[in-house]
Amino acid sequence: MWWDKKYETFRAEIREFAEHTVAPIAVRMVEDGKFDLSLIPLLHQRGLLTMVLPKKYGGAEFDTMQYTIGVEEISRVCGSTGITLAACNSLGIFPILAFGTEAQKEKYLRPAGERGALIAFGLTEPGAGSDAGGTKTTAVLKGDKWILNGSKCFITNPTIGDFVVATARTDNKGDAHDISSFIVEKSFPGFSVGKKENKLGLRGSDTAMLHFEDAEIPKENLLGKIGEGFKQFMITLDGGRISIGAMALGLGQGAFDLAAEYADTHSAGGKPLAYSEGIAFKLASMATRLEASRHLVYTSAVMKDRKEPFAKQSAMAKLDASETGRFCAEEALGIMGLDGFDARYKVECIWRDVKLCEIGEGTSEIQRLVISRALARDRLVQRNKQ
């Protein structure tokens, strides 16, 4: 089985850090509507900014299960910090690690590992969300520079981050081989971080637009080969979906813990709410769905570590955990009644935050598409064997 005692110890350490260090800052971040930069060195000391980065580049080199638990436990107290970590590790570090040259890893990942820096991933555009192949941003090679033009939206970490991995169309054949990826430093001429997005939830995370206006990117900052960008971000998102599943688990668990505490300490008709079947059964359903979703998320983490194909499992994990997270937030609101509507009780924040898990890194419809295509492929393989 996938479980090991070392993960319990790890969880306890991260939970202690989350509750004592992250949670007090989280309250302020959500009120202020911006990420608190004082968290960066604290997260870095714990290895949380570089969970997927090997030690040889100065990273923490956690395995995927530890990474999953890390995102889960931080999200349990603060969804905004959870998404900041998930985006930096899965979407910022991973593509350079997986597809970059040794020189790019030395130049970009080593300082991030040693200093502790956030990295952003620029994929989504105003007209290219689910249809990620519909990217409109263009890249044209002129001399020793790629010239990029276009805009990206809803990008996590660009204002507080050091640099961005961004996609652009390097050809116009109209297929998946038109798109390439680039490492873009914030100081490159023609590149700017634009307006901050005004979001329903995760208001403490940094989300903004990116603009490329004849932006000049050195030729050597192409990531991998020309035309490989689509496949690169598909592979990147396969892994990223485990972390969004972990985030949803953490938010759902946070909602459960707050609701259970409330039900134990508030009374109606002279007895604690938790003694009423109406409330106790809600808690039972929440705990059961969390346990089932946790199984899916952890299984996909183990499969990734074992280098087994895991794309179908990570899509299932994200789909299921994000729906469970929303279910738990809604049930917690139901248990707490009007108090749940009150920001002081924190469940309304979880309810707003968790919705992103059903949208970001592929909507639930996209997960169903990925799963159904994989199932059809599996059936074809079976038929061909007979």
Question: What is the set of active-site residues?
Answer: 361
Secondary structure (3-state) at 62: coil
**Which residue type does 141 have?**
L
Q: Are 216 and 145 in contact (CB under 8 A)?
A: yes
Scan for tokens 């901050």, then name that residue.
Answer: 196
User: Near ligand COS by CB under 6 A, which window of 101-109, 139-147, 220-228, 362-370?
Assistant: 362-370
- Regarding 352 and contact with ligand COS (CB under 6 A), the answer is no
Residue 69 to residues 8, 12, 298, 353: CA-CA distances in angstroms?
9, 10, 9, 18
Q: How many CA atoms lie within 13 A of 298 on its CB side?
A: 17
**Which residue type does 97 have?**
L
- Nearest approach in angstroms of CB 236 to ligand COS is 8
User: Near ligand COS by CB under 6 A, which window of 13-21, 118-126, 178-186, 338-346?
Assistant: 118-126
- Residue of the chain from 113, 150, 201, 360 that contacts ligand COS (CB under 6 A): 360
Binding string to ligand COS for residues 163 to 192, with x set by CB under 6 A, is what?
-------------x----------------
Composition of the chain by helix, strand, coil, percent to 5: 60, 15, 25
- Nearest approach in angstroms of CB 47 to ligand COS is 23
- Regarding 124 and contact with ligand COS (CB under 6 A), the answer is yes
Binding string to ligand COS for residues 69 to 108, with x set by CB under 6 A, is what?
----------------------x-----------------
- Regarding 239 and contact with ligand COS (CB under 6 A), the answer is no
Distance CA 93, CA 49 (A): 9
Which CB atom, from 259 or from 357, has the smaller least distance to ligand COS?
357
- Residue of the chain from 72, 162, 238, 358 that contacts ligand COS (CB under 6 A): 238
- Nearest approach in angstroms of CB 129 to ligand COS is 6
Q: Which long-range contacts (CB under 8 A, 24 or more apart) does 273-277 make?
A: 273/335
- Residue of the chain from 40, 42, 369, 371 that contacts ligand COS (CB under 6 A): 369
- Nearest approach in angstroms of CB 119 to ligand COS is 13
- Nearest approach in angstroms of CB 164 to ligand COS is 12
- Regarding 371 and contact with ligand COS (CB under 6 A), the answer is no
Which CB atom, from 287 or from 369, has the smaller least distance to ligand COS?
369
**Cα 342 from chain centre:** 27
- Regarding 15 and contact with ligand COS (CB under 6 A), the answer is no
Q: Are 119 and 92 in contact (CB under 8 A)?
A: yes
- Nearest approach in angstroms of CB 157 to ligand COS is 11
Scan for tokens 């199984």, then name that residue.
Answer: 295
- DSSP per-residue codes, 91-155: IIIHHHHHH--HHHIIIIIHHIIIII--EEEE--BTTBSS-GGG---EEEEETTEEEEEEEEEEE
**What sign has the CA pseudo-torsion 26, 29, 34, 38?**
negative
- Regarding 117 and contact with ligand COS (CB under 6 A), the answer is no
Which CB atom, from 238 or from 323, has the smaller least distance to ligand COS?
238
Which positions from 292 through 321 interact with ligand COS, judged by CB under 6 A? 311
Residue nearest ligand COS (C-beta atom): 362
**Cα 354 from chain centre:** 12
- Nearest approach in angstroms of CB 296 to ligand COS is 18
User: Near ligand COS by CB under 6 A, which window of 24-32, 66-74, 230-238, 332-340?
Assistant: 230-238
Letter string b/e over residues 330-362, b meaning 16 or more CB atoms within 10 A of that residue's CB: bbbbebbeeebeeeebbbbbbbbbbbbbbebbb
Residue 377: Cβ-neighbour burial (10 angstroms; 0-12, 13-18, 19+): exposed
- Nearest approach in angstroms of CB 39 to ligand COS is 22
- Regarding 329 and contact with ligand COS (CB under 6 A), the answer is no
Secondary structure (3-state) at 307: coil
Q: Which residues bind ligand COS (CB under 6 A)?
A: 91, 121, 123-124, 129-130, 132-133, 176, 230-231, 234-235, 237-238, 311, 360-362, 366, 369-370
